């Protein structure tokens, strides 16, 4: 059937559609770029977007999915009509017509409005709120029908597309954060903190705890005087107290409580485990407790310290509120803390590493992939290569790891754990991992 519409009228309709498409894209970009502070009065009580535009913009922010569907609708309609005009009026081939108008829609209806709206998001949102509200309302019946049709096959397989309309995923938020960082609107430190917050759900208490071998604790038989003499020189203010072994923790001694009881001279020479009401109750948590849940529990219980226990009830380590905060903001050092670098350069071609260094940190320095399934620390990894529990006789022993291409020379042993090591690249030609002689 031949189209009898006046060609000039069809061209005008096409131009109008391009303008509507551009306005919708600009409005959607502006609305999604606005922050809450852009819509709130400043310190002087003035607002950047006046009523009634402000109400329309707030409604659009609350229904971004509907606005996004409207943008798609007008883009498709514009591209279809433009292609038809080029084919019908200028007798251009369908492929060239589709290609040409796709480029026109992209430049005039997508790229240009997007950039303009990002440069002036507040002004764009206010100016376009009224006309774009009408354009969105016109498109709603069509987009509703199309969305309903698209949801039919999804519902047949048991999916519920309706719940995704207003759901923002973690990946989408992180993507927006990274985009904001690349554009300079979010500082690197801020972006890293946001990413660290999302990672809390992926970490467990055992991942951030101070291991049992590094716990500063008191035996219950220690006198109050002796404990205070140690506490005033220590960087911590809270100490677990145990009876017999670290696996039998009976409470926690706080420096403030110790000083209050110290003022009563009758307690100074008594064992801290026998002084009534001196020790505070401690919180015990499993190794597998997620860090975000741990944070909530510590906030509710108002406790700054928790003891981590394994499935057998043995003490695995200790977690403090500071440990959790450091997972978000990085290391927090005060005037009593002395930062210990577990990995450092030690001359040309050599590194100095401590057995306590995490394997993920060793990976970053050596730029190698290390199997972390069984061990968290460099000491654990090398102990497996060594084939036995380290002793003082292993001081000076060399462990050649051909897979990593590095030689680890043991400099010190701390109990049954490897202490400091000298790390250097091994000569070519070594095929298998081997343990050298002292």
Please provide residue 74's backbone torsions phi and psi, each rounded to the nearest 5 degrees: -70, -30
Q: What is the mean pLDDT of residues 49-74?
A: 83
Residue 54 in domain: yes
In this structure, is residue 243 part of a structural domain? yes
What integer is the mean pLDDT of 366-379?
A: 82
Same domain, 152 and 49: yes
Residue 164 pLDDT grade (very low, low, confident, very high; cuts 50, 70, 90) = low
Same domain for 262 and 228: yes
pLDDT of residue 319: 93
Mean pLDDT of the chain: 83
Handedness of CA 382, 385, 390, 392 (dihedral sign): negative
Do 159 and 119 lie in one domain? The reply is yes
CA angle, 273 then 226 then 278, to 5°? 35
Enter the pTM of the model. Answer: 0.55
Q: What percent of the chain has pLDDT over 70?
A: 89
Q: Domain range spanning residue 290?
A: 205-329
Query: How high is the pLDDT of residue 323?
Result: 87
The verdict on residue 189 lying in a domain is yes
Does residue 334 sit within a domain? no
DSSP label of 427 = P
The answer to whether residue 322 is domain-embedded is: yes
Give the CATH number, domain containing residue 408. 3.30.465.10
pLDDT at 431 over 50: no
User: Domain check: are 160 and 11 in the same one?
Assistant: yes
Q: Which tens digits make up the pLDDT trace of 107-121?
A: 888 889 889 888 888
- pLDDT digits 0-9 by tens, 201-251: 788 888 888 888 888 899 999 999 999 999 988 888 899 999 999 999 999
Pair 96, 49 in one domain:
yes
Using pLDDT thresholds of 50, 70 and 90, give the confidence band for residue 162.
low
- Residues 195 and 227 placed together within one structural domain of the fold: no
Q: Which of 279, 298, 329 is the last residue of a domain?
A: 329
90 located within any domain: yes
Residue 234 to residue 165: CA distance in whole angstroms? 54
Q: Looking at the structure, do residues 11 and 155 belong to the same domain, yes or no? A: yes
Tell me the pLDDT tens digit for each residue of 278-326: 999 999 999 999 988 898 898 888 888 999 999 888 999 999 988 888 8
The verdict on 191 and 232 lying in the same domain is no
Report d(CA 285, CA 275) in Å as an integer. Answer: 26
Calpha distance 381→224 (Å, rounded): 41
Residue 1 has pLDDT above 50, yes or no: no
Counted domains in the chain: 4
| pLDDT greater at residue 416 or residue 316 | 316
% pLDDT > 90, the chain? 17
Higher pLDDT, 160 or 381: 381
Residue 398 contacts residue 435 (beta carbons within 8 Å): yes
pLDDT for position 344 = 86
> Are residues 16 and 60 located together in one domain of the fold?
yes
What is the pLDDT confidence band of residue 433, given thresholds at 50, 70 and 90?
very low
Residue 65 falls inside a structural domain: yes
- 86-100, 158-172, 214-228, 238-252 — which is least confidently predicted? 158-172
| Spatial distance between the Cα atoms of 327 and 52, rounded to a whole number of angstroms | 44
Asked whether residue 20 carries a pLDDT value surpassing 50, the answer given is yes
User: Are 232 and 365 contained in the same domain?
Assistant: no
82 half-sphere exposure, CB direction, 13 A CA radius:
26
In terms of domains, do 106 and 144 share one? yes
Residues 175 and 252 in one domain: no
Residue 113 counted as domain residue:
yes
Averaged over 413-421, what is the pLDDT?
87
Half-sphere exposure of residue 432: CA atoms within 13 angstroms, side-chain side: 3
pLDDT tens digits for range 377-412: 888 889 888 888 888 888 889 988 888 889 999 998
pLDDT score at 373: 73
């Amino acid at each position: 059937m031949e189209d009898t519409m006046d060609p000039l009228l069809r061209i005008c309709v096409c131009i109008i559609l391009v303008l509507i498409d551009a306005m919708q894209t600009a409005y959607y970009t502006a609305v999604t770029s606005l922050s809450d502070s852009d819509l709130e009065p400043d310190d002087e009580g003035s607002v950047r977007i006046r009523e009634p535009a402000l109400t329309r913009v707030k409604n659009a922010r609350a229904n971004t999915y509907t606005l996004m569907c409207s943008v798609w609708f007008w883009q498709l309609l514009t591209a279809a009509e433009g292609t038809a005009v080029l084919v019908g009026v200028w007798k251009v081939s369908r492929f060239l017509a589709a290609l040409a108008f796709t480029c026109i829609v992209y430049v005039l209806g997508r790229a240009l409005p997007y950039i303009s709206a990002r440069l002036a998001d507040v002004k764009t949102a206010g100016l376009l709120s009224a006309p774009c509200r009408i354009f969105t309302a016109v498109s709603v019946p069509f987009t509703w029908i199309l969305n309903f049709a698209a949801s039919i096959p999804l519902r047949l397989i048991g999916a519920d597309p309706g719940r995704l309309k207003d759901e923002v995923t973690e990946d989408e938020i992180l993507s927006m954060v990274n985009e904001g960082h690349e554009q300079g609107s979010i500082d690197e430190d801020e972006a890293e903190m946001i990413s660290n917050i999302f990672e809390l759900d992926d970490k467990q208490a055992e991942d951030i705890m101070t291991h049992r071998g590094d716990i500063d604790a008191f035996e219950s038989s220690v006198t109050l005087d002796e404990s205070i003499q140690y506490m005033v020189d220590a960087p911590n203010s809270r100490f677990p107290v145990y009876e017999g072994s670290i696996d039998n923790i009976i409470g926690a001694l706080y420096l403030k409580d110790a000083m209050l009881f110290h003022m009563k001279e009758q307690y100074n020479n008594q064992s801290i485990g026998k002084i009534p009401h001196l020790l505070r109750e401690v919180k015990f948590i499993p190794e597998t407790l997620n860090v975000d849940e741990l944070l909530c529990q510590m906030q509710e219980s108002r406790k700054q310290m928790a003891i981590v226990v394994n499935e057998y009830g043995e003490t695995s380590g200790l977690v403090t509120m500071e440990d959790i905060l450091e997972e978000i903001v990085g290391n927090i050092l005060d005037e009593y803390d002395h930062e210990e670098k577990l990995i450092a350069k030690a001359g040309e071609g050599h590194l100095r590493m401590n057995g306590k260094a995490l394997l993920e940190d060793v990976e970053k320095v050596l730029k190698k992939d290390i199997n972390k399934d069984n061990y968290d620390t460099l000491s654990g990894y090398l102990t497996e290569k060594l084939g036995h529990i380290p002793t003082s006789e292993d001081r000076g022993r060399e462990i050649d790891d051909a897979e990593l291409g590095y030689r680890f020379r043991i400099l010190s042993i701390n109990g049954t754990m490897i202490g400091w090591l000298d790390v250097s690249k091994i000569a070519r030609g070594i095929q298998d991992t081997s343990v050298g002689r002292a």
